[in-house]
Structure formats: structure tokens, C-alpha cells
Chain A
Amino acid sequence: MSVLIDAETRIVVQGITGHQGTVHTRQMLQFGSRVVAGTTPGKGGQTVEGVPVFDSVQEAVDRTEANTSVIFVPAPFAKDALLEAVDAGLRLAVVVTEHIPFHDMLTMYHYAHAQGARIIGPNCPGIAAPGKSKAGIIPNVVFRPGRVGVISRSGTLTYEIVNGIKEHGLGQSTCIGLGGDPVIGTTFVDALPLFEADPDTDLVVLVGEIGGTAEEDAAEVLRTRFSKPVVAYVAGRSAPPGKRMGHAGAIIARGKGTAASKLEALKAAGAEVADFPYEIPDLVARALAERGRR
């Protein structure tokens, strides 16, 4: 088992004929993902990396039974792309696109939610289950199949951390990059129960950052309904208030969203907290060994 995707997941790439869409379709295929279709309005009939391109998601679904979308469509058109995917019956959409206005995302989230569809992202690297499937852009080289789950608000930092876990001789069950925007389709609170229920995950690494209260909310889940060990890291303890640190969501606003508050909540909920990213693999190995002894 894995979380949200598996070897049977059938992916349609929306915006497949763009630079990013093409590059990452190739990478996903190399990872072993079943990318069965792509869409770009007006370019139906072409192929990209051997994958058939359709004009609409509905055609892609009708012809290929795609069930999961990865969206690379530029920000001004991303809302439309997501609504199209939901209306075509897809129940999981990974939105890689960055700079989507949060007002659009509010519509996207509540529309999808009402139809029982899940969004990962936007502004996210997506999801990967090593040895099974990848829907998104996390580099293939960092993975190795294993039993560590990873949930992160970050992109590149996640790659570095996942790579560190690999170099330590461990592997990952599923890794989800939630995205760095203020409104995201899947939060820590949404993702943690999936890992709790996943028999292939023994431990979860949670990578947060400043801004909002997603980590404090996650701590509440850890305290009340999560049994597996958690190693947590929060980026941005040196960040000043009022400055947006690269991610739209990474801002300490009106005293809310500091690293200190998040770390305190996570510690109080029983998570092992890493002060720096390079401490994570050791903490993971130790927590797994301890769990093994129990």
C-alpha cells in the first residue's frame, strides 16, 4: 500500500505540451508512473514522449481511463484546468503551478471538496511512492523504497531531506509536497490520517515552515489521533516578521506563524524536533530503532 497513489494510478498531464509538462512527463515515465494521457486545448492528436494528447480532460478520461491529474497550466488558467479535471470525474489533482491567486484557490478547493475530489498543491512538487508511481516533479534520484513517510510544505528542501534519508540507508513509503501557498488543497491535518492508516509507513517526517498555523493544527492531530513516531523540522527560525520569505504562505503576520510557536506545539505533541535539516536522518533512524525495540 501507499498513500493516495499506487502502481495502478493512471495519470493525465494537463499542459503536457509546455516545457515543464514535457520535461516532467518524461521524468514521471522514467520513474515508472503510468502517464496515460496529456491535454492541451487545440493540440489533441499529438503525442508527447509517446503519450497521446487530447483537447480536453473528458476526452482523455473517456479514451484512457485516467484517474489522476497533474496540472502544469499557467496560473491565469489553472482554476479552469482544475474545475475541468473535477468535472471529468477525477478524484485527485496535483497542481504544480505557482502564483495562483488564493481567491482562485478558494474556489478550486471548495469546488473540488464538494465533489469529493482532492487537490495536492498548488505551488507544490506533488506526490511520489517509490517503486510505484509519481505524480509531480520531485526528482527521481532522491528516492528509494522504504517505510518512512514524508509530508512537507517545501520543495527543494524536501528533496534534500528525502535524499538525506536515502543516503542514510533508509527509504520512503510515500512523500507528499503540500505546497507553499496560503491556501492548499491538502494540509498536514488532511495528510496525517492517510499515513496513520498506511500499513507501509512506520514513521512520518513532517517538514513545516513559518506562516499560518498548519503545524500547530498538525500538532493537535499528533496529540489526539496519531500513533506513529514523527520527526519534525520547521524552516524559518531566523526569518523576520512581516517579510514574505519566497513562498506566498511563508510570512509571520501579526505575531502569528513563528517557527518558535510551531516547534513548541510539535514538541508538546511528542514529535522529535530537528533543529537543522541534516539532523533528520539520524533522528529518523533512532526513532525507528526505538519503535523496533517496543
Chain B
Amino acid sequence: MVKLAEWRGKEIFRRYGMPLPRGAVVRSAAEAATAVASGAVPLPCVVKAQVLAGGRGKGGAVRFAATAAEAEAAAGAILGLEFKGERVREVLLEEKLPIARELYLSVALDRSRRLPIVMASAQGGVEIENVDDAQILRLPVHPFAGLTGYERRRIAKALGLTGGAARSLDRVLTALWGIFEREDAELVEINPLAVVGDAVIALDAKVIIEDDASFRHPEYSEVRDDRTPLEEIAREKEIAFVQLDGNIGVIANGAGLTMATLDVLQQFGGRPGVFLDLGGTDDPNKVTEAFLLMSKARPAAVFLNIFGGVTRCDTVARGLVEAMKLVPPEERFPLVARIRGNNEDEGIAILRSAGVTSLHELRESVQAAVAAAAGGRP
């Protein structure tokens, strides 16, 4: 899941012929002044922080400027701000348009139908979750046919567009579908899509690219996302790693088992701090890497829950014991393990001889991990 900032989304929009306001992305107040002076950004203009979090308008991350000096000052004020934990590195300046109406348009995946679904509403400019269902047109699209002409006309009608505006919408829909399909997007959302005179123009852009398609879209691999630095490292190493609010790290194999382990941990009063899914690995080096990554998150305790089916318990145990030797003393933490399945006796023996608490039942081992995190002995 690669979430693109608005300006990156709009770069893609432009390539696909989407109608956009005139504007420029800048990284300093001086660049903002130049962008206005050169005429690239007509006045009056909107100055928008390029962050991934929503609620920019209410949060003071969107401002207006009537003069070049105001634009420069607004860009300077927004750049470097911390918005919902994200530092503002880019600002997008765009002409302020006379908006007649704000519409909503998106395409995403409908998992239950196993079809892409276009959503359109005449109630744009607010979050779609807050729009009455009756005001939203939901149109499943067959991937072999694509978004057809009659479907595009139906959307125009639902949005109350005719004449030039309807023709303009046709361009928007062609671009929307093209991006979804050819850029391997999970979501392409335009909110608001503004009616300006007899045209429609994309005022915002929200594009999420699918991670699994990165083999054919290397251009997105460098994009900064809202992952934490450790999550970013984990991504490069192809380890499923999610940082959470608590202080206990959980390493398990398989996403479902890891989630279930977090659930049990929370039930017994523990606070999960890291979700680490080893996957179906039987490579001790990967176990070592995962464990070292976990140690960087500085957990108060770590709980290891392995069910060895294909994975051999002794292989995991060996990787773990090797990894423990590599953790610097100041980063060490108590470790509680539960390993079941393939070669479990050997695995448990290896762990116990390395001083790791190794228990059989999920409940008692989770309780031991919670106690260890609270400062008790594991």
C-alpha cells in the first residue's frame, strides 16, 4: 500500500489527461514566490501542505493567498510544520477557482463482488462515509470491459452534468479508470471534483498504489509513505512488521496466528507493541533478521508463538538463539516462547538451554510474557 501525496497523485492525473487547476509544487518560500511571479500559479491561489493525513482544511494546513507576498508567507509558514506527526516537506500552490458545485468520484475494489467499483456523488467535498447512501451511485465495472461509454453517461446523469461539463467528466472518467488499471491502484479518489463554468476539474487527488505490483512499478518504490522507519526497513527485508501502541513484541508465523496471538495478549492485560509475522520461512537467517529488527523497537518483552508445520521449530529456535547473541546488552529484553509442531522437542530444548522461557499452552505463555513486560521474571 503506497499512499501518494496529493502532488504525486496529480502528476499521475496530468499524465492521464485529467483536468487540473494550474499550479506548482514547491519546497521553500522562495520557490513559492518564483512560482507566482513566473505566472505558473495564477492569483489568488490556494497553498496546501503535502501530507498524507486528512483534515488539512480544518487543521490549518490549507491557506489562501491573494498576492505573491502572501503566497510566499503562507508557504513559509506551512513548510516544516508537523501535521498529525508528519513533517511538511512540499507545498502545492494552485489557482483558486470559482467553484459552482463540488462532486465526489472514486474507483476502488469491491472485495465481495470481486469487481472494481466506481462511486460517484453530487455531495462532494465531505468525507464519503458521511454522505447518505441514497446520494451515492455505486457502479461495479467488469475488468474485461472497462468503464464503458454508457456507464460514463450514466455517471454524468447521476451527477447532474450536461453539455460541456458532461464532456469534461468523460475525460475525467477515462483518466480515472486508466490510472486504476494501468498504475495498479487500490484507490483513485477525487474529492472534490469541482464544477467550474462548463467544465469539471480535479481539486484533490488521493491515489493508493498496490504494494504487490511493485515488480512492474519500480517508480513507486522510493515514495515516502506513512510507515515508521522500522516498518520501512522491514518492508525492504520483506518482513510483515507493524508498530502498535503497546510495549510487548509478538513474533509469530502466519498473519492469522500473529493476529490471534495479539488478541490473546490483549485479553490477558498485555499491550501489543509490534506485530511481526515471520511467514512460512524455514530460513534461520530470516529469523535472525526479524529478531534483530524487533530489538530495535525496544520492546519491554517479546513473545514468540510458532506453529511449525512446514517451518521446523528447531530451525526457528537456532535462528533465535543466534540472534540473541547479536543484540547489544542495552537492548536486551525478556523472551517467552511457545513453539508447537514439527520438531518441537528439539526446538524447546535449544531455547531452554539458551535460558529462554519456553511453555506449551498459549494462555500460560501469554501470561508469562505479560508478567515479564511488567518487570516480573519471565
Contact = CB atoms under 8 A, between A and B. Distances in A.
Q: Does B associate with A? A: yes
Interface of A: 23, 75-76, 99-103, 106-107, 109-110, 137-139, 141-142, 152-160, 163, 180, 182-183, 187, 207, 209-210, 212-214, 217, 233, 235-240, 243-251, 254-255, 275-278
A207 B309 contact: no
Nearest to B217: A101
Interface in B132-152: 142-144
Interface string B254-294: 11111110111111000010010100100000000000000
Contact of B277 (A76, A182, A239, A246): A246
Interface string B190-223: 0000000000000000000011110110000000
Contacts of B256: 152-158, 180, 207, 209, 235, 246-247
Given A75-B212, A141-B341, A239-B262, A159 B184 contact: no
13 contacts: A106-B114, A153-B256, A156-B252, A156-B280, A163-B340, A217-B112, A235-B257, A235-B260, A238-B259, A238-B272, A243-B275, A249-B111, A276-B260
A23 B116 CA distance: 36
A237 B144 CA distance: 37
Contacts of B114: 106, 109-110, 183
A250 B341 contact: no
A237 B275 CA distance: 13
B225 to A, nearest CB: 12
Given A141-B309, A157-B260, A238-B262, A102 B255 contact: no
A107 B211 CA distance: 18
Contacts of A244: 1, 242
B100 interface: no
B111 A212 contact: yes
Given A163-B307, A238-B263, A276-B260, 13 more contacts: A139-B341, A155-B255, A157-B260, A233-B260, A236-B262, A243-B242, A244-B242, A245-B240, A245-B242, A245-B255, A246-B275, A246-B277, A277-B260
Interface of B, helix, strand, loop or mixed by DSSP: mixed
Interface of A, helix, strand, loop or mixed by DSSP: loop
B3 to A, nearest CB: 10
B259 A101 contact: no
Counting chain B residues whose Cβ lies within 8 A of the other chain, the interface size class is 35 or more
Contacts of B258: 245-246
A129 to B, nearest CB: 17
B310 A23 contact: yes
A156 B254 contact: yes
A236 B109 CA distance: 22
A59 B222 CA distance: 43
A102 B212 contact: yes
A243 B211 CA distance: 14
Nearest to A96: B280
B363 A278 contact: yes
Highest count of chain A CB atoms <10 Å: which of B216, B256, B264, B309: B256
Nearest to A210: B259
A152 to B, nearest CB: 7
A159 B111 contact: no
